[in-house]
Chains A and B, each alone.
Chain A
Amino acid sequence: MKSLMKNRLAWPVIALAALLLLNQIFRPDFLSLRMQDGHLYGSIIDIMRNGAPTILIALGMTLVIATRGIDLSVGAVVAIAGAASCAYIAASPEPASPVTAAMAVLIAVMAGLFLGLWNGFLVSTVGVQPIIATLVLMTAGRGIAQLITGGQIVSVSNDHYKSIGAGYLFTLPISILITAAVFVLAAVLTRRTALGTLVEAVGINPVASRLAGLRSRNIIWIVYVFSAVCAAIAGLMISSNVTAADANNAGLYIEMDAILAVVIGGTSLAGGRYTLAGTVIGAFIIQTLTTTVYTLGIPPEVTLVFKALVVITVCLLQAPKARNLLRSLKAAPKPGTKEKVAI
C-alpha cells in the first residue's frame, strides 16, 4: 500500500517539482524565503496563501468524488458564507469587536453545515443525481448571497475578521494554518475513524457495500456536509482577505479549480480510492501554474485555456478506454486484442 500511495502521488509530485523548477530558472529568487517584520515572505508562501481556499474546497470535493458524487455548489456556498458573515458584522452594534468576528465565523460555518445537509438530503434521501442536486444550489445560491448582501458589496472593518485571510501567526499566514489544520483534521477524521474506508467502499462498489450491511446514506450525508463546511471556511478566507463580501464574484469558478485539483491529484472521477495529499498537491499545481503564467510573461488570460487543456488531458489519461488504446499502441502489432462491445 505504501508503494501504491507513492505511485499514485508520483506524477503530481513530479509535475509540481517541474513547475517550481521552471519558475526558479526564470526567476532565481523564486524559491527563496525571507523574514520581514516577523512574517515569512516569498513566492512559495504566496502560492500557498492564494491557493488556500482552493485547497480547502478541493479537500471536501475529494471525499464527495470518492463516493461517486460531485458538488457543483461550492462556489455558491463560498458566496453565501462570505455574505452572511460580512452582513452580520456590518449590521452588528460593535462591528470591530472580536466577539462579533467569532460570531460571524460561527454563522458562516453554520450556513455551510445547513447547505451541506441540504445537498446531502437531495442526493442520499431523495435520490437526485449529485450533479443535478448541487446544480440547484449553484443556481439559487448566488441569488441567496445577493439577497443577504442586498446586492451591494458589503465592506467590513474588523481586524480580527481580517486576520483570517490576511493575518499572520507564528510567522505564517493564518489562512495557510487554517488550511493545514483542516487537512490534518480531514486526514484524522477519515483515517482514525472508519469513514475513509467506508467512503471508498461505497465509491468502489455500492452494491457489494450494501450487501455487507453498509448504510451509504449516512456516509453520503457526511461528505456533502464536509464539502459545504470547507467551502464556507474558504468563503470566510476570501471575504476576510478583501474585507468585503462580493456575492457575484466570490468563489466564481472555484468548483472547477477544486474538481481539477482532485483529478490532477490522482483521485478518479469514477469514485473509489482517493488521496487527500494528492488533492493538496493538485491544488498547488494549479496555483503554481497561475503563478508560472505570470512568471513566464504569458498573458494571464490564457490560464483558463491552459486549465481546460490540463483537465481534459488528465481525464483522458484516467479514462479506461484511452488507457487501453495507449496500451495497445505500446504492445503494437499484436492481433486479436480487439475491443469487445461493452454491455
Chain B
Amino acid sequence: MNEIVPVVEMTDIAIGFPGVKALDGVNFRLFQGEVHALMGENGAGKSTLIKALTGVYTIDSGTITVLGEHKQFPTPAASQAAGISTVYQEVNLCPNLTVEENVMLGREPRRRGSIDWKGVRSRTREVLAELHLNHVDPGSLLSSHSIAVQQLIAIARSVEINAKVLILDEPTSSLDADEVNQLFRVIRDLRDRGVAILFVSHFLEQVYEISDRMTVLRNGKLVGEYLTRDLSRMGLISKMIGKEMEALAELDQAPARTRARTDSEVTPFVEARGLGRKGSVSNVDLSIYPGEVVGLAGLLGAGRTEIARLLFGADKADEGSIRVKGVSQRIRSPRTAIDKRIGFCSEDRKEEGLIGDLSVRDNLMLAMQASKGWARRIPRRVQDELVAEYIATLDIRPANPDALIRNLSGGNQQKVLLARWLITSPELLILDEPTRGIDIGAKTQIQKLVNKLATEGMSILFISSELEEVLRLSDRVAVIKDREMVAEIKNDDVSVEDVMTVIAGGTQ
C-alpha cells in the first residue's frame, strides 16, 4: 500500500465570507488508516474546513486532491462521489424514514426502474452486521433509536458507500461514556480496515484517546500538524488559544477593587446546585455573591454558554436547583429570570442579541419595555434621558439614538446590548464573551465597566475565552471542562498557566 500519498490533501485553502476570512492559506492532509483530530476553538475554522471538504462551501483558492487526483466539490454529492463521507453532530439523517432507507438513500439498488427493497434490506443487514448492529431492525424508523445508534447508522451509511474518508464532526457531544466507548470501537475497526478518519471534538480526553495525529487551527490559519503522542495537553491548549493575549497586556491594570464578601454570613445572590440539562451540561454548583465577579474559564464549547443559558432560563434545566437570594426559584424562561433581576448578554450578538432593523434607542429600551409590557410605553422623555445617559457613559458611537443598530461596529453594538441590561438595573449580569470580536478600545471600556459595576454591588458572571481577561476581572474562577465544572479557584495570584493546567489535567 502506498503510504506516501495522502488520501486527502488540501493545499493553501482560503475561504472568505463578507467581512471575514474564515480560512486563510490552510494546508491539511489525511492518510489512510489514521484517526486525525482537527483541533481549534470555535471560530478557528474547523467546520469551515470540513464544509470545504464535503462540498457545502466552495473554496476561494487552493487545491484539494484525493489520492493524488485534483478534485472540485461544488456539491455534497460530488464530495461523496469521491469517497468522502461525513457524520455530523446533529446526525444528518431523515428521522421520518426507516433505518435501511437512511443507509441506502439515493443509492438504492434498482430493478427495472423500481427500487429493489429486498436488495435494500439485505445490503443494510450486511452493513449493520459489519458494525455489529445486528439487533437494529432495518425496517424500524430512525427516530425510534437513540442518538448513539443514529450516529452509528450514519456511519453505516459511510461504510455502505465504501468511504475512503470518514469525517466525524463532534460525534460524541450528546453521548454518554458507554456510548462513546462503543463509538470508539467502531472507529478503531474502520481505521484498521484502512479508512482515513477525521475526528473533531471539543473533548480533549477523547481526542487523546482516539487520535493518532492532529492538525491545529487558530483564527482561520494553520498552527501546525502534530503526532498526538508528541504534543502535551498543555502544548495543545496554548497552540489552540495562542498568545494573542499578550497584545492586551499593555492595557491598564484593572483598578483595585475591594473583594466582595463571600463568607457564610452573606447570602449569595444566586446559588445553583447540581444544575444540569440532558445533552448539555451536568452537575454545576455555582454561587455568585453580590458585588462579586465570577469568571467561567474553559475552552470554547466546553459548556460555558450552556451554564449561562440555564441560569437565565433560556434553556430549561432538568436537574438541580437554583436559589436566588436564598429563595428556591424555578427559572422557566428569560422572562422569569429578568423578573428576578438577572440579565444576559449572549455571545451570539447577531442572532441572539440585536434586533438588527431597529434603532439604537429601541434596542436599548427593549428589555425594560418588554418587562413593562406593550401597553405602558416608556415615555419618550424618559427614553431620551436614559438613552442619552447610556450613550454618553458607554461612549456609544455614533451617538445617534436613531441609527439602525446593524450599522454600528461590533464594539458599539456590544455596548448597546450591555446598556439594554444596565437600564433594567439587574442584580446579576451574565456576560458571555462580551469582548469578542471588538476593537481594543471598546474592550478596555467594557472591562472597566465590569469592574465598576461589581464595585457598585452587582454580581457578574463573566465568560471569556481569554484567560487573562477572566483572571484580571474575576474574584473567583470556575473551570469548565467537557461539559462539567471541574474546579473552582479563588483568584489570588492565579496565573494563566495554573488555570491551563487545570483545563489540561482534569480535576485538581
Q: Do chains A and B touch in the complex (CB under 8 A)?
A: yes
Chain A: minimal CB distance from B231 (Å): 32
CB distance from A321 to the nearest CB of B (A): 15
Are B57 and A200 in touch, CB under 8 angstroms?
no
Given contacts A198-B369, A211-B352, A213-B367, whether A193 and B377 have CB atoms under 8 Å apart is yes
With a cutoff of 8 Å between Cβ atoms, the chain B residues found around residue A215 in the complex are: 335, 370
* A192 interface hit (Cβ, 8 Å): yes
Q: Which of A192, A200, A211, A273 contacts B377 (CB 8 A)?
A: A192
A302 near B: Cβ within 8 Å?
A: no
Q: Given A194-B369, A211-B314, A212-B420, A201 and B374 touching (CB < 8 A)?
A: no
Which B residue's beta carbon lies closest to that of A190? B374
Q: How many residues of A contact B (CB 8 A)?
A: 31
In Å, the complex CA distance between A197 and B334 comes to: 19
Given the known inter-chain contacts A193-B374, A207-B352, please indicate yes or no for A201 contacting B358, CB distance below 8 A: yes
Q: What 0/1 pattern do residues 329 to 356 of B give for CB contact below 8 A with A?
A: 0000111011000001010000111111
Distance A62 CA – B378 CA, assembled complex (angstroms)? 24
Chain A residues contacting B376 (CB-CB under 8 Å) are 193-194
A340 within 8 A of B: yes
Q: How far is A201 from B378 in the complex, measured between Cα atoms in Å?
A: 16
Q: Which residue of A lies closest to B56 (CB)?
A: A341
Task: Tell whether, in the assembled complex, residue A194 and residue B57 are in contact, meaning their CB atoms are under 8 Å apart.
Answer: no
Bound state CA distance, A341 and B58, in angstroms? 8
Chain A: which residue is nearest B345 at the CB level? A211
Per the bound structure, the CA–CA distance linking A200 and B420 in Å amounts to 17
Residue with the greatest number of chain B CB neighbours at <10 A, chosen from A193, A213, A341, A343: A213
Interface set, chain A 169-219, CB cutoff 8 A to B: 192-195, 197-198, 200-201, 204-205, 207-215, 218-219
Q: How many residues does chain B have at the interface if contact means C-beta atoms less than 8 Å apart?
A: 41
Q: Is A305 close to B, CB under 8 A? A: no
Which has the most chain B C-beta neighbours within 10 Å: A212, A336, A340, A343?
A: A212
Interchain CA distance A159-B410 in the complex, whole Å? 63
> A193-B375, A213-B335 known; A1 and B370 CB under 8 Å?
no
**A338 in the interface (beta carbon within 8 A):** yes
Q: Does B362 contact A (CB under 8 A)?
A: yes
Known: A192-B377, A340-B57. A211 touches B344 (CB 8 A): yes
B58, B371, B374 — which one has the most chain A CB atoms within 10 A of its CB? B374
Q: Which of B372-402 contact A (CB under 8 A)?
A: 372-378, 402
What are the residues of chain B within 8 A of A222 when measuring CB–CB?
A: 374
In the complex, A209 Cα to B366 Cα: how many Å? 8
A201-B57 in contact (CB<8A): no
- In the complex, what residues of B have CB within 8 A of residue A207's CB? 351-352
- Taking the closest CB of chain A, its distance from the CB of B354, in whole angstroms, is 6
Whether B377 contacts A204 by the Cβ 8 Å rule is: no
9 residue pairs of the A-B complex, CB under 8 angstroms, read A194-B372, A194-B376, A197-B362, A197-B366, A197-B369, A201-B362, A211-B312, A212-B420, A215-B335
Q: Which residues of B contact A (CB under 8 A)?
A: 17, 51, 56-58, 60, 312, 314, 333-335, 337-338, 344, 346, 351-359, 362, 365-367, 369-378, 402, 404, 420
Top 4 nearest A-B pairs by Cβ distance?
A: A213-B338, A214-B370, A194-B377, A213-B370
Binding site for B on A (CB under 8 A): 1, 4, 192-195, 197-198, 200-201, 204-205, 207-215, 218-219, 222, 272-273, 336, 338, 340-341, 343
18 more CB-based (< 8 A) A-B contacts, given A197-B366, A200-B357, A340-B58: A193-B374, A193-B375, A194-B369, A194-B374, A197-B362, A198-B374, A201-B355, A204-B358, A205-B354, A209-B370, A210-B334, A211-B314, A213-B334, A213-B337, A213-B370, A214-B366, A214-B370, A338-B58
